[in-house]
Amino acid sequence: MQKHAIPPARFFTQVSNDIIRHPRLSAEAVRLLMWQLSLPGDVDQPLSETAKRAGIKKTAFQRAKQELIAEGYVHEWRGQGPHGRWATRQLVSNVPLSAEEALVARDGDRPAEPPTAVEPTAVEPATGEPEGRSVGRSQENTEGNTQNPPSQPSPSSPLIERGALALSSVSHRERQLCLTGREVTGLAPLAAEWFLRGASLTDLREALTSGLPERVHSAAALARNRLTRKLPPMPSFAEQRVQETPAAEPRVASMRECRGEHVQPRLFRPVAEETLCPACRREQAAETATTTAMETPHSAATWGAATARTVLSVGA
Protein backbone atom coordinates (compact mmCIF):
# COMPACT_ATOMS: atom_id res chain seq x y z
CA MET A 1 0.00 0.00 0.00
CA GLN A 2 1.31 3.42 -0.95
CA LYS A 3 0.91 6.37 1.40
CA HIS A 4 0.86 10.09 0.56
CA ALA A 5 0.99 12.35 3.66
CA ILE A 6 1.68 16.08 3.81
CA PRO A 7 2.63 17.40 7.27
CA PRO A 8 0.25 20.20 8.27
CA ALA A 9 1.73 23.65 8.63
CA ARG A 10 -0.89 24.88 11.12
CA PHE A 11 -3.95 23.83 13.13
CA PHE A 12 -2.73 20.37 14.09
CA THR A 13 -2.24 18.31 17.27
CA GLN A 14 0.66 16.01 18.04
CA VAL A 15 -0.68 12.63 19.17
CA SER A 16 1.42 9.67 20.19
CA ASN A 17 1.13 6.43 18.27
CA ASP A 18 0.56 4.72 21.60
CA ILE A 19 -2.87 6.34 21.69
CA ILE A 20 -3.77 5.71 18.07
CA ARG A 21 -2.69 2.05 18.19
CA HIS A 22 -3.76 1.32 21.77
CA PRO A 23 -4.96 -2.31 21.91
CA ARG A 24 -7.57 -1.73 24.65
CA LEU A 25 -9.08 1.57 23.53
CA SER A 26 -12.03 1.54 21.16
CA ALA A 27 -12.37 3.90 18.21
CA GLU A 28 -14.76 6.10 20.20
CA ALA A 29 -12.31 6.34 23.11
CA VAL A 30 -9.42 7.31 20.82
CA ARG A 31 -11.59 9.88 19.03
CA LEU A 32 -12.81 11.35 22.33
CA LEU A 33 -9.27 11.62 23.75
CA MET A 34 -7.77 13.13 20.58
CA TRP A 35 -10.63 15.63 20.29
CA GLN A 36 -10.19 16.70 23.94
CA LEU A 37 -6.41 17.05 23.55
CA SER A 38 -6.88 19.19 20.43
CA LEU A 39 -8.79 21.88 22.36
CA PRO A 40 -6.94 25.10 23.29
CA GLY A 41 -5.60 25.32 26.81
CA ASP A 42 -8.00 28.09 27.85
CA VAL A 43 -11.12 26.12 26.83
CA ASP A 44 -12.83 24.47 29.82
CA GLN A 45 -15.05 21.91 28.12
CA PRO A 46 -16.24 18.69 29.85
CA LEU A 47 -15.95 15.32 28.19
CA SER A 48 -19.71 15.03 27.74
CA GLU A 49 -19.80 18.20 25.62
CA THR A 50 -16.81 17.00 23.60
CA ALA A 51 -18.60 13.72 22.92
CA LYS A 52 -21.63 15.59 21.58
CA ARG A 53 -19.46 17.70 19.28
CA ALA A 54 -17.63 14.57 18.12
CA GLY A 55 -20.90 12.78 17.32
CA ILE A 56 -20.45 10.08 19.97
CA LYS A 57 -23.74 8.71 21.37
CA LYS A 58 -24.41 8.55 25.09
CA THR A 59 -23.89 4.79 25.54
CA ALA A 60 -20.71 4.82 23.46
CA PHE A 61 -19.51 7.88 25.41
CA GLN A 62 -19.96 6.13 28.77
CA ARG A 63 -18.08 3.09 27.50
CA ALA A 64 -15.29 5.21 26.00
CA LYS A 65 -14.98 7.26 29.19
CA GLN A 66 -14.64 4.14 31.33
CA GLU A 67 -11.95 2.82 29.00
CA LEU A 68 -9.97 6.06 29.28
CA ILE A 69 -10.33 6.07 33.07
CA ALA A 70 -9.22 2.44 33.29
CA GLU A 71 -6.12 3.14 31.18
CA GLY A 72 -5.19 6.30 33.14
CA TYR A 73 -5.81 8.92 30.44
CA VAL A 74 -8.78 10.47 32.30
CA HIS A 75 -9.12 11.17 36.04
CA GLU A 76 -12.13 12.59 37.88
CA TRP A 77 -12.63 14.06 41.35
CA ARG A 78 -15.97 15.02 42.85
CA GLY A 79 -16.30 17.32 45.85
CA GLN A 80 -18.12 20.24 47.39
CA GLY A 81 -17.16 23.82 46.76
CA PRO A 82 -17.01 26.65 49.31
CA HIS A 83 -20.76 27.25 48.98
CA GLY A 84 -21.72 23.60 49.42
CA ARG A 85 -22.38 22.88 45.73
CA TRP A 86 -21.04 19.63 44.28
CA ALA A 87 -18.70 19.84 41.29
CA THR A 88 -16.67 17.39 39.20
CA ARG A 89 -13.10 18.12 38.14
CA GLN A 90 -11.65 16.26 35.16
CA LEU A 91 -8.05 15.81 34.07
CA VAL A 92 -7.11 14.57 30.59
CA SER A 93 -3.53 13.67 29.70
CA ASN A 94 -1.78 12.34 26.62
CA VAL A 95 0.09 9.75 28.70
CA PRO A 96 -1.27 7.29 31.29
CA LEU A 97 -1.08 8.66 34.84
CA SER A 98 -1.51 6.94 38.16
CA ALA A 99 -3.77 8.39 40.82
CA GLU A 100 -0.81 9.99 42.64
CA GLU A 101 0.63 11.43 39.42
CA ALA A 102 -2.77 12.82 38.48
CA LEU A 103 -3.04 14.59 41.85
CA VAL A 104 0.40 16.13 41.34
CA ALA A 105 -0.58 17.28 37.84
CA ARG A 106 -3.82 18.73 39.14
CA ASP A 107 -2.33 20.56 42.13
CA GLY A 108 0.86 21.68 40.42
CA ASP A 109 3.50 19.78 42.44
CA ARG A 110 2.09 20.98 45.74
CA PRO A 111 0.45 18.72 48.33
CA ALA A 112 -3.25 18.96 48.83
CA GLU A 113 -4.04 21.47 51.52
CA PRO A 114 -6.00 20.11 54.48
CA PRO A 115 -9.23 21.92 55.35
CA THR A 116 -8.54 24.83 57.62
CA ALA A 117 -10.54 25.08 60.80
CA VAL A 118 -12.35 28.31 61.53
CA GLU A 119 -10.99 29.89 64.68
CA PRO A 120 -13.61 31.01 67.17
CA THR A 121 -14.05 34.75 67.47
CA ALA A 122 -13.39 36.17 70.88
CA VAL A 123 -16.55 37.78 72.24
CA GLU A 124 -16.42 40.05 75.24
CA PRO A 125 -18.84 39.07 78.02
CA ALA A 126 -21.86 41.25 78.51
CA THR A 127 -21.87 43.76 81.35
CA GLY A 128 -23.73 42.67 84.48
CA GLU A 129 -23.98 39.83 86.91
CA PRO A 130 -24.53 36.27 85.63
CA GLU A 131 -28.10 35.11 85.82
CA GLY A 132 -29.23 31.76 87.06
CA ARG A 133 -30.61 29.17 84.67
CA SER A 134 -34.36 29.42 84.22
CA VAL A 135 -36.44 26.47 85.33
CA GLY A 136 -38.57 24.82 82.69
CA ARG A 137 -38.39 23.93 79.01
CA SER A 138 -36.32 25.93 76.58
CA GLN A 139 -38.34 28.33 74.42
CA GLU A 140 -36.29 27.74 71.30
CA ASN A 141 -38.13 27.07 68.07
CA THR A 142 -38.58 23.33 67.60
CA GLU A 143 -40.84 23.48 64.55
CA GLY A 144 -38.00 23.37 62.06
CA ASN A 145 -36.60 20.36 60.32
CA THR A 146 -36.94 17.61 62.90
CA GLN A 147 -36.36 14.79 60.46
CA ASN A 148 -33.81 12.30 61.70
CA PRO A 149 -30.55 12.44 59.74
CA PRO A 150 -29.79 9.37 57.60
CA SER A 151 -28.30 6.63 59.71
CA GLN A 152 -25.92 5.12 57.22
CA PRO A 153 -25.82 1.29 57.39
CA SER A 154 -22.48 -0.41 57.80
CA PRO A 155 -20.50 -1.08 54.58
CA SER A 156 -21.04 -4.83 54.97
CA SER A 157 -24.79 -4.52 55.51
CA PRO A 158 -27.04 -6.55 53.17
CA LEU A 159 -29.03 -3.35 52.65
CA ILE A 160 -25.98 -1.82 50.94
CA GLU A 161 -25.89 -4.70 48.47
CA ARG A 162 -29.64 -4.42 47.93
CA GLY A 163 -29.30 -0.69 47.33
CA ALA A 164 -26.50 -1.25 44.81
CA LEU A 165 -28.58 -3.83 42.94
CA ALA A 166 -31.56 -1.47 42.88
CA LEU A 167 -29.47 1.40 41.50
CA SER A 168 -27.91 -0.88 38.88
CA SER A 169 -31.38 -1.98 37.78
CA VAL A 170 -32.56 1.62 37.44
CA SER A 171 -29.35 2.55 35.60
CA HIS A 172 -29.85 -0.24 33.03
CA ARG A 173 -33.51 0.67 32.43
CA GLU A 174 -33.27 4.48 32.27
CA ARG A 175 -30.87 6.01 29.76
CA GLN A 176 -30.94 9.38 31.58
CA LEU A 177 -29.67 7.69 34.76
CA CYS A 178 -26.70 5.78 33.36
CA LEU A 179 -24.40 5.31 36.38
CA THR A 180 -20.88 3.96 36.51
CA GLY A 181 -19.84 1.25 38.94
CA ARG A 182 -18.05 3.77 41.15
CA GLU A 183 -21.14 6.00 41.24
CA VAL A 184 -23.38 3.05 42.15
CA THR A 185 -21.03 2.17 45.00
CA GLY A 186 -21.10 5.75 46.27
CA LEU A 187 -24.90 6.01 46.13
CA ALA A 188 -25.63 2.57 47.56
CA PRO A 189 -25.66 3.76 51.23
CA LEU A 190 -28.34 6.34 50.40
CA ALA A 191 -30.46 3.69 48.68
CA ALA A 192 -29.93 1.38 51.65
CA GLU A 193 -31.26 4.13 53.93
CA TRP A 194 -34.52 4.03 51.94
CA PHE A 195 -34.89 0.30 52.58
CA LEU A 196 -33.95 0.84 56.23
CA ARG A 197 -36.90 3.20 56.54
CA GLY A 198 -39.37 0.71 55.08
CA ALA A 199 -39.44 1.82 51.42
CA SER A 200 -39.91 -0.76 48.70
CA LEU A 201 -38.03 -1.18 45.44
CA THR A 202 -41.01 0.34 43.60
CA ASP A 203 -40.88 3.43 45.85
CA LEU A 204 -37.17 3.87 45.17
CA ARG A 205 -37.55 3.39 41.42
CA GLU A 206 -40.47 5.85 41.22
CA ALA A 207 -38.57 8.49 43.21
CA LEU A 208 -35.59 8.24 40.85
CA THR A 209 -37.38 8.01 37.51
CA SER A 210 -40.57 10.08 37.86
CA GLY A 211 -40.49 13.30 35.83
CA LEU A 212 -36.96 12.95 34.49
CA PRO A 213 -35.81 15.83 32.27
CA GLU A 214 -34.96 15.16 28.65
CA ARG A 215 -31.34 16.21 29.19
CA VAL A 216 -29.39 15.15 32.27
CA HIS A 217 -25.91 16.63 32.72
CA SER A 218 -24.91 14.44 35.68
CA ALA A 219 -26.88 11.28 36.39
CA ALA A 220 -25.06 10.70 39.68
CA ALA A 221 -25.78 14.23 40.94
CA LEU A 222 -29.45 13.92 39.99
CA ALA A 223 -29.78 10.53 41.71
CA ARG A 224 -28.04 11.81 44.87
CA ASN A 225 -30.30 14.86 44.98
CA ARG A 226 -33.47 12.81 44.64
CA LEU A 227 -32.37 10.15 47.12
CA THR A 228 -31.62 12.86 49.70
CA ARG A 229 -34.52 15.21 49.00
CA LYS A 230 -37.23 12.54 48.74
CA LEU A 231 -35.94 10.42 51.61
CA PRO A 232 -39.00 8.99 53.43
CA PRO A 233 -39.35 9.87 57.13
CA MET A 234 -38.18 7.45 59.76
CA PRO A 235 -41.15 5.28 60.86
CA SER A 236 -42.39 5.76 64.40
CA PHE A 237 -41.92 3.18 67.12
CA ALA A 238 -45.51 1.95 66.73
CA GLU A 239 -45.10 1.55 62.96
CA GLN A 240 -41.86 -0.36 63.45
CA ARG A 241 -43.59 -2.73 65.87
CA VAL A 242 -46.33 -3.34 63.32
CA GLN A 243 -43.76 -4.05 60.61
CA GLU A 244 -41.75 -6.38 62.83
CA THR A 245 -44.76 -8.34 64.17
CA PRO A 246 -47.10 -9.09 61.27
CA ALA A 247 -50.57 -10.42 62.01
CA ALA A 248 -50.77 -14.21 62.26
CA GLU A 249 -52.59 -15.84 59.34
CA PRO A 250 -55.74 -17.80 60.34
CA ARG A 251 -55.51 -21.57 60.04
CA VAL A 252 -58.54 -21.74 57.74
CA ALA A 253 -57.05 -19.17 55.36
CA SER A 254 -55.31 -21.87 53.31
CA MET A 255 -58.29 -24.29 53.39
CA ARG A 256 -61.01 -24.76 50.77
CA GLU A 257 -64.60 -26.03 50.87
CA CYS A 258 -65.20 -29.34 49.13
CA ARG A 259 -67.60 -29.24 46.18
CA GLY A 260 -68.76 -32.80 46.71
CA GLU A 261 -72.05 -33.87 48.28
CA HIS A 262 -71.86 -33.66 52.09
CA VAL A 263 -74.44 -33.22 54.81
CA GLN A 264 -72.43 -30.30 56.17
CA PRO A 265 -69.76 -28.15 54.49
CA ARG A 266 -66.38 -29.87 54.66
CA LEU A 267 -63.07 -27.96 54.58
CA PHE A 268 -59.80 -29.45 53.39
CA ARG A 269 -56.30 -28.13 52.65
CA PRO A 270 -55.58 -28.53 48.91
CA VAL A 271 -52.17 -29.56 47.66
CA ALA A 272 -52.57 -28.08 44.18
CA GLU A 273 -55.77 -26.81 42.56
CA GLU A 274 -58.10 -29.68 43.46
CA THR A 275 -61.70 -28.84 44.44
CA LEU A 276 -62.66 -32.16 46.10
CA CYS A 277 -61.58 -33.51 49.47
CA PRO A 278 -59.53 -36.76 49.62
CA ALA A 279 -62.62 -38.89 50.42
CA CYS A 280 -64.55 -37.54 47.43
CA ARG A 281 -61.54 -38.01 45.16
CA ARG A 282 -61.20 -41.67 46.22
CA GLU A 283 -64.90 -42.25 45.65
CA GLN A 284 -64.72 -40.58 42.25
CA ALA A 285 -61.66 -42.68 41.29
CA ALA A 286 -63.48 -45.91 42.28
CA GLU A 287 -66.52 -44.98 40.20
CA THR A 288 -64.32 -44.16 37.22
CA ALA A 289 -62.51 -47.50 37.49
CA THR A 290 -65.81 -49.42 37.69
CA THR A 291 -67.24 -47.61 34.66
CA THR A 292 -64.11 -48.30 32.64
CA ALA A 293 -64.17 -51.98 33.55
CA MET A 294 -67.83 -52.33 32.52
CA GLU A 295 -67.24 -50.64 29.16
CA THR A 296 -64.34 -52.98 28.21
CA PRO A 297 -65.49 -56.59 27.24
CA HIS A 298 -62.36 -58.32 28.51
CA SER A 299 -62.33 -56.26 31.69
CA ALA A 300 -66.06 -56.84 32.14
CA ALA A 301 -65.58 -60.64 31.90
CA THR A 302 -62.73 -60.49 34.36
CA TRP A 303 -64.80 -58.33 36.69
CA GLY A 304 -67.77 -60.71 36.36
CA ALA A 305 -65.66 -63.78 37.10
CA ALA A 306 -64.18 -62.09 40.14
CA THR A 307 -67.66 -61.16 41.33
CA ALA A 308 -68.90 -64.78 40.85
CA ARG A 309 -65.99 -66.21 42.81
CA THR A 310 -66.70 -63.76 45.59
CA VAL A 311 -70.38 -64.78 45.70
CA LEU A 312 -69.55 -68.52 45.71
CA SER A 313 -66.97 -68.10 48.41
CA VAL A 314 -69.47 -66.20 50.54
CA GLY A 315 -72.18 -68.84 49.93
CA ALA A 316 -69.87 -71.69 50.79
CA 289 – CA 53 distance, rounded (Å): 80
- The pLDDT score that the predictor gives to residue 245 is 53
- The reported pLDDT for the residue numbered 241 is 56
Candidates 316, 128, 87, 107; CA nearest to 217 is 87
Tell me the whole-structure pTM to 2 decimals: 0.35
Best CA proximity match to 64, nearest among 103, 34, 99, 102: 34
pLDDT at 1: 76
Question: Quick one: which of 200, 215, 208, 205 has its CA closest to 229?
Answer: 208
pLDDT of residue 74: 92
Q: Which residues of the chain have pLDDT under 70?
A: 109-156, 235-249, 252, 293-316
Q: What is the pLDDT of residue 26?
A: 92
Collapsing DSSP to helix, strand or coil, 312 comes out as: helix
Q: Which residues have a Cβ under 8 Å from the Cβ of 269 and sit 6 or more positions away?
A: 254, 255, 256
Q: Give CA 166 to chain center in angstroms.
A: 2
51-70 per-residue burial string, b: 16 or more CB within 10 A, e: under 16:
beebebeeebbbebbebbbe
Res 107: pLDDT: 80
Q: What pLDDT does 315 receive?
A: 45
pLDDT computed for residue 308 by the predictor:
60
Predicted confidence at residue 68, as pLDDT, reads 92
